[in-house]
Structure 1
Amino acid sequence: MALKTFELLKGCATHEEIMKVLAGVAIDLGDVIDDVSVVEVNPLKGAMTNEVFEVNWPTKSDSHLRRVLVRLYGEGVEVFFNRDDEIKTFECMSKNGQGPRLLGRFTTGRVEEFIHARTLSAADLRDREISSLIASKMKEFHNLHMPGPKKAQIWPRMRKWLNHAKSLCSQKDINNFGLDNLDAEINMLGELLSEGYQDIGFCHNDLQYGNIMIDEETRSVTLIDYEYASYNPVAYDLANHFCEMAANYHSDTPHVLDYSKYPDLDERRRFIYTYLSSEGKMPSDAEVEQLVNAAEKYTLANHLFWGLWGLISSYVNTIEFDYKEYSRQRFQQYWLKKPTLLT
């Protein structure tokens, strides 16, 4: 597939610009791209806001192929996060031995190291061994020392998103999705869930299966895509991961959430016990229960967060996905679970 594929997908970065960056990356890696026809571009599936491609070319020394990943940023996503901050996070993660290396940048995307590992499937999240590996990796991730304010970012971010959603939405959508009521809900949740001591860590905030990779030989887990990463209560990140178990973005109806697949209490306890014990200290039953309960309450914040994300995305993103229906399901789950979780 010719490199003009990039140009067809995104008009902001030209074919020449991407080619120039790839040629520079090739030189840095000890190769030479002197003929565009030797470059092979293969689209990868599963991204929800970006377009991602595996790009190959022959190495200079032998017949093996050099592989990199090219990420083209989704349209309109600047409302969700600051791209410069995300790049800083990406680079800092690399320095901490986490995730792929940043190899090059262009106007509307970047070139990353290609990780030779398998992206997880929805079913993998329910595999006990893989789930245990994810729990330990989350604890390691949460303990990273990263730039940025070390306090909960979820509340100001949601308020910003709510204001933006209101500015984009028709009055019909504002009414249908109850946006005029959400200011009060966000304020109430922020006060209620922030009471008492909270363990604040550097959170991924988008730990769906497509953002987790595993090396089949070493069983090493890598978390990727840090666009939404920031400091937050670790209970929020755990809640986000549990909520993602209801999703299968590779089904015929990728926007449909099946909450019968939400992990039961024993599964959540097992995950959190592994999370807390991953550094060698055995947690008490009370410590496990405290975090299990906190994570369950934080599912409410997750539903509002991703409900707003879906609604905004329906106006700014052109990827084929029923964002409004996804949003409707998240808000519906919020109102369904609120009475029992906040009693």
Structure 2
Amino acid sequence: MSSPKDDKKESLPSIPGCDTIIDLAVLKGDVLTAKVLNLIQALFPEYAENLDNIKLDRVSGALTNAVFFVNAVNKRRLLLRVYGNGVDQIIDRGNELAWLARLSSLSIGPKLLGIFGNGRFEEYLPSTTLTHHDIREPETSKGIAACLRELHDIATVYPFSAEKDHLEIWANIDKWYRVVMGLLPVLYKKSDGWDKVLETFNLELLPFEIEKCKQILEAAESPIVFAHNDTQYGNVLKLEKTNELVIVDFEYAGYNPRGFDIANHFCEWTYDYHSDQPASMDLGKYPSYEEQIRFLNAYLDTKSKHNNLGVLDKAVTVEDLQKEAAMWLMTSHLSWGLWGLIQASQSEIDFDYFLFSTQRLNAFRVEFAKWK
């Protein structure tokens, strides 16, 4: 089976596109609205017929991109995503778009409607976005587990190939570490005191710790799945008509060990991105053992929609799956810790990425010490 990268040219020709750039550092208010209107008229002439006015509503809580609802009288709502400054250092857009095409063919998630120089338009799904309280609610948590299992089982339709594909977690950690080390001079000067904090982390040790992590996690024997890799509550929608849960935003998606994706979701229980301290992690909110077991039982009880004999149907106890996720937890902390430092150096989004990063790197060292 081919890699998603092999399918890009084949899968995406019907998606309208252009090279227009929307610079949010320069474009504001009515000027931004006019720019987006012109872009819509260029990409979607049929939709834009008799369209001379739109309204943009920015969605709060997005940490990588700026996200807007595009509203117009007597027109369906669109979702506009403008990529964050410097995000190309973090995200492989070609890989993301190829996977979006595959997901669309499986009727999973919103449709990709159009692409421009630094962003895209997506189908808007009439829905409400979950909150940090919702993901703790027992039935909702079990619903998220079922959604995650459905995504993971896509690996039975598009299997991982060791010859053509890579694991996102190690590719990202290795890449983001190199980027961070190149950005250290910028980070040292970015804000008073950052240099002293960063020196305490002794980031030069990370390559040795990363290699040790790889050795430790080989023993976890976690199967390779199609992983979302960012199941925070803002990426889970409840559809208005059916109350069905839908996971969206596949920027970080790709092949990864099952244990990583589950642990990564558990980490999102510790954040409230709409609070007074949105970047602060509250480890006291990490799901208890009983809450983890409830989630994992729902995950294992979900029947595959894609293949009756997939790799995920291999017998595993819920206790084994809990340990698997516990072992991979350290890599979630490490990857987002590095991500946070890159964002801290350049993002224009109002979010304390430096605090976010240092807390995740601290948590990585705590978890790493349990297994080394």
The structure 2 residue matched to 1:44, chosen from 59, 67, 79, is 59
The one of 40, 49, 57 aligned to 1:22:
40
1:80 to 87, 90, 99: 90
Deviation larger for 128-137 or 174-183: 174-183
Please report the TM-score for the alignment, with normalisation by the length of structure 1: 0.88
Q: Are the structure 2 counterparts of residues 83 and 11 from structure 1 closer, same or farther at C-alpha, using a change threshold of 3 Å?
A: farther
- Measured at CA, do residues 180 and 43 of structure 1 come closer, stay the same or move farther in structure 2, by a change above 3 Å? same
Distance 2:51 2:322 in 1: 56
Q: Displacement of 1:285 after TM fit?
A: 9.9
More deviation, 306-315/80-89: 80-89
Q: How far apart, CA to CA, are the structure 2 residues paired with 1:222 and 1:164?
A: 33
Whether 1:57 and 2:75 are equivalent positions in the alignment is no
Give the aligned partner of residue 230 of structure 2: 206
- Percent identity reads 34
Q: 1:289 aligns with which of 299, 308, 319?
A: 319
Alignment of 1:196-275 (within 5 A): 197-275=221-299
The residue correspondences of 1:53-202 to structure 2 (distance < 5 A) are 53-59=68-74, 65-144=75-154, 145-146=157-158, 149-170=164-185, 172=195, 174-195=198-219, 197-202=221-226
Residues 39, 55 of structure 1: 8 Å contact kept: yes
Q: Is the 2:222–2:324 Cα contact (8 Å) retained in structure 1?
A: no
Alignment correspondent of 2:356: 326
Displacement of 1:332 in angstroms is: 1.2
- Structure 1 residue aligned with 2:49: 32
TM-score (ref. length: structure 2): 0.81
Aligned 8 A contact 2:22 2:118 in 1 = no
- For the residue of structure 2 that corresponds to 1:143, the secondary structure is helix
Match of 1:162, SS state, is helix
Shift of 1:21: 3.4
Q: Which runs of 5+ in 2 are unaligned?
A: 1-20, 189-194
Offset of residue 331 of structure 1: 1.2
Q: In 2, are the aligned partners of 1:242 and 1:262 still within 8 Å (CA)?
A: yes
The alpha carbon displacement at 1:293 in A equals 0.2
CA distance in 2, matches of 1:147, 1:181: 35
Distance 1:52 1:196, change over 3 A: closer
Structure 2 Cα separation of the partners of residues 86 and 285 of structure 1: 31
Structure having greater relative contact order (Cα 8 Å, sep ≥ 6): 2
CA 47–91 in structure 1, closer or farther in 2 if over 3 Å, else same: same
Separation in structure 1 between the aligned mates of residue 301 and residue 226 of structure 2, nearest angstrom = 18
Give the 3-state SS of the residue equivalent to 2:58 in structure 1.
strand
Q: CA deviation at 1:222?
A: 1.1
- 1:107 to 1:268, Cα distance in 2 relative to 1, 3 A: same
Q: Find the aligned partners of 1:261 and 1:243 in 2 and give their Cα distance.
A: 9
CA RMSD of aligned residues (A): 2.6
Paired residues, number: 329
Contact 1:245 1:263 in 2 (8 A): yes
